[in-house]
Amino acid sequence: MRLHEDSSPTLPATSLLRAVTAPQTAAAQPDQAAMDAHLARSRYGRFTLTEAVRPGWHLDVVPQAGFRHDAYVDPRTGGRMPAVIAAVSSEDLFSTFLELIEPLGDTCDVVLESSHDSKDVRRELTREGVERLVLESMLWEYEDLLLNDGCTSIAVLHPELSLEVQLDEHKLLVVYAQSRLPFERILRESGVERNDRIRFISQGEHLHTSHARHARQFEELAARIGAC
């Protein structure tokens, strides 16, 4: 299951930025100094972005912390899977992600996704049957990749139940679960409140960032996990 997917071109491993939407007209473009200042800004009120993504110049969506309910609808069967989507400030994002995967149990499956090399199709690598505590230890070593690379996402799944936690390319947390209450409790304990009117950075014009080192780190992490 994947709730948010861009159809935008993918960032090559040696590039630094890619825009999700078509370029603006020259008349609408800021000068270079203004754009550089915009891209350097990571803090919006009490919310801090990671380095992975920035809102577009026009700020269609102003980043903020919060979560809301959503659902995945199977296009073939029409079945619905309840979901929670959350934006968490960067200083709490990684620890909150690890707390959200605790309810998945002692053993889980992992899916790593990369858009470093492909313009149209994300590369997806899977490893089944990983001890959660071992996984957490490895993920701590790659915190920079998971938080600051706009071309990397990770999903951790229960091996038997329809239960999944994602940290996606926009650095949003997405949970699929029939019972959302345990995950909402974790978010609230992290200071993230429900806001049914919240809009996320993925819903407006935005830019993803990456670096060549992130492509290398992705390969290292996949090898450590044994994902293929």
Does the pLDDT value for residue 20 go beyond 70? Answer: no
The pLDDT confidence band at residue 117, using thresholds 50, 70 and 90, is confident
The answer to whether 106 and 131 are in contact (CB under 8 A) is yes
C-alpha closest to that of 72 among 202, 166, 193: 166
The pLDDT confidence band at residue 4, using thresholds 50, 70 and 90, is very low
Contacts of 208 (CB under 8 A, 6+ apart): 6, 8, 11, 17, 18, 20, 52, 53, 150, 151, 169, 170
C-alpha closest to that of 87 among 200, 205, 209: 200
Average pLDDT over residues 129-153: 96
pLDDT tens-digit readout, 59-108: 989 999 999 999 989 888 888 999 999 999 999 999 999 999 999 999 99
Provide the residue ranges of all domains of the chain, joining segments of one domain with +. Answer: 41-225
Give bridge partners of residue 22 from the DSSP assignment: none
More confident call, 49 vs 33: 49
Residue 107's identity, in one-letter code, is T
The whole-number pLDDT of residue 75 equals 87
The pLDDT confidence band at residue 55, using thresholds 50, 70 and 90, is very high
- Tokens of residue 136, six digits: 């957490």
* Residue 158 phi, psi dihedral angles, 5° rounding: -70, 135
The whole-number pLDDT of residue 118 equals 67
Does the pLDDT value for residue 26 go beyond 50? Answer: no
Give bridge partners of residue 80 from the DSSP assignment: 73
